[in-house]
């Protein structure tokens, strides 16, 4: 069987013409984070530890829409959210509306492990983070010049951007939102079939203050049970409506589909074209990375030596 890991940095209308100076830092980041995850699995860390670790790396990287580099609300602020789930116990933790917490995914984990609740948001979540001694910084630390520009462009275009954001040169807008920047996520399984999923994001560019997306919604953007672990990305509202992460596992459980078939089905039939992507692993060590968008920043590896880092559909 063996361990397996997959991670993503966002699905969306990633143009094939993406210039190298925009593509390479993200590719390098994915490669680096994949290695971090692989090393942790080799060191026998639990999948729960692994996905948290990898997502923290992605949050700290300003090229992705999570933690530092989060896209901005309509008021130019950041409101970050994240979710983590342990497949074996189905324990989970979620947070929304964070403005100063450096690693939202870690706060989600603390909610899961140290409270009788699953989900804390906004002021209550921020207060809890301080009580628990999590690292917090001034909100300005998460805001990058690129995202200030992205917000400006989105306001001009008067549109809400979907998950992956194009670089900030004026590109011709295409269907369903170009100019997107990616939510991040990671799923992992160990040799014993223990599964975990984690997702983190700044949300949608120009979103209304207080808007919550799919990432912290158990069964939408994040889900894990004893069959599989799933992390989704794309247009949050479509993923919520489509209960994407839960549906992948429900198709396996109730209809007997394989991981690959279930993921393909959800992405092709249960959400509108151009709105969603996901990474998933199964208890048997299989992995799949499906998306119905132009591209999805992704990376994966399995114990037998398979490795993949990609953006567009592989031929």
Is 254 an interacting residue with respect to its own copies (CB under 8 A)?
yes
**Cβ nearer to its own copies, comparing 162 with 187:** 162
Is residue 10 a contact point for its own copies (CB under 8 A)?
Answer: no
For residue 195, what are the β-bridge partners? 189
Toward its own copies, which CB reaches closer, 14 or 220? 220
CA distances 179 to 205, 206, 274, Å, are: 9, 12, 13
For residue 168, the tally of other CB atoms under 10 A from its CB is 16
Residue 178 assigned to a binding site: no
Least Cα distance to 228 among 203, 262, 199 occurs for 262
- Does position 109 bind its own copies by CB under 8 A? no
From 4-12, 148-156, 233-241, 284-292, span contacting its own copies (CB under 8 A): 233-241
Dig out the tokens for 175 from the structure: 């269907």
3-state secondary structure 48-102: HHHHHHHHHHHHHCCCCCCCCCCCCECCCCCCEEEEEEECCCCCEEEEEEECCEC
Which part of the chain contacts its own copies (CB under 8 A), choosing from 34-42, 52-60, 84-92, 135-143? 84-92
Q: Is 223 in the site for its own copies (CB under 8 A)?
A: yes
Instruction: Note whether 178 and 166 are within 8 A (CB).
Output: yes
Q: Is 179 left (phi over 0), alpha (psi -120 to 50) or beta?
A: left
Given the complex with its own copies, which of 19 and 210 has the nearer CB atom?
Answer: 210
Minimum CB distance to its own copies smaller for 5 or for 212? 212
- Binds its own copies (CB under 8 A): choice among 155, 191, 208, 307: 208
The number of residues making up the chain comes to 315
Give Cβ neighbours of residue 43 (< 8 Å, ≥ 6 apart). none
Find the largest Cα–Cα distance for the chain.
Answer: 51
104 binds its own copies (CB under 8 A): no
Piece of the chain touching its own copies by CB under 8 A; list 7-15, 33-41, 100-108, 244-252? 244-252
Residue 195 near residue 229, CB atoms below 8 Å: yes
Give catalytic residue positions.
Answer: 183
Contact stretch for its own copies (CB under 8 A) within 3-11, 49-57, 101-109, 250-258: 250-258
Which of 27, 122, 264, 310 is close enough to bind its own copies by CB under 8 A? Answer: 122
Tell me the torsion sign for CA atoms 63, 69, 71, 76: negative
Block residue for tokens 């799933």: 230
Report whether 212 belongs to an annotated binding site: yes
Alpha helices in 119-210 (DSSP H): 122-131, 145-157
CA dihedral (285, 110, 104, 243) positive or negative: positive
Find the binder of its own copies among 11, 107, 121, 198 (CB under 8 A): 121
- How many residues lie near its own copies (CB under 8 A)? 44
Among 243, 282, 292, 302, interactor with its own copies by CB under 8 A:
243
Any known ligand binding at 233? yes
Residue whose structure tokens are 């959400």: 271
Q: Of residues 23, 32, 91, 260, which one binds its own copies by CB under 8 A? A: 91
Residue positions forming the annotated binding site for substrate = 211-214, 233-236
Residue positions forming the annotated binding site = 211-214, 233-236
Give the residues lining the site for its own copies (CB under 8 A).
90-92, 94, 96-97, 115-125, 127-128, 160, 207-213, 217-220, 223, 236-237, 240-243, 246-247, 250-251, 254-255
């Amino acid at each position: 069987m063996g361990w397996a890991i997959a991670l993503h940095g966002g699905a969306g209308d990633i143009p094939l013409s993406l210039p190298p100076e925009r593509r390479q830092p993200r590719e390098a980041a994915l490669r680096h984070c994949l290695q971090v995850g692989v090393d942790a699995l080799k060191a026998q860390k639990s999948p729960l530890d692994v996905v948290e670790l990898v997502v923290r790396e992605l949050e700290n990287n300003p090229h992705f829409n999570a933690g530092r580099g989060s896209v901005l609300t309509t008021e130019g602020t950041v409101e970050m959210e994240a979710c983590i789930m342990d497949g074996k116990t189905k324990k989970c933790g979620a947070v929304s509306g964070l403005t100063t917490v450096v690693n939202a995914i870690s706060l989600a984990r603390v909610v899961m492990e140290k409270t009788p609740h699953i989900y804390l948001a906004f002021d209550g979540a921020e207060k809890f983070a301080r009580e628990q001694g999590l690292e917090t910084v001034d909100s300005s630390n998460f805001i990058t010049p690129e995202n200030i520009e992205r917000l400006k462009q989105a306001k001009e275009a008067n549109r809400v951007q979907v998950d992956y954001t194009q670089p900030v040169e004026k590109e011709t807008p295409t269907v369903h939102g170009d100019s997107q920047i990616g939510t991040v996520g990671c799923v992992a399984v160990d040799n014993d079939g223990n599964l975990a999923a984690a997702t983190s994001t700044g949300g949608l560019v120009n979103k209304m203050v207080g808007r919550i997306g799919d990432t912290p919604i158990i069964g939408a953007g994040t889900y894990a049970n004893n069959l599989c672990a799933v992390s989704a990305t794309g247009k949050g509202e479509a993923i919520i409506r489509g209960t994407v992460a839960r549906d992948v596992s429900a198709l396996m459980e109730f209809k007997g589909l394989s991981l690959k078939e279930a993921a393909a089905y959800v992405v092709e039939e249960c959400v509108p074209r151009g709105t969603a992507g996901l990474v998933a692993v199964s208890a048997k060590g299989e992995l799949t990375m499906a998306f119905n968008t132009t591209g999805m920043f992704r990376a994966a590896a399995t114990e037998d030596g398979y490795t993949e880092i990609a953006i567009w559909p592989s031929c």
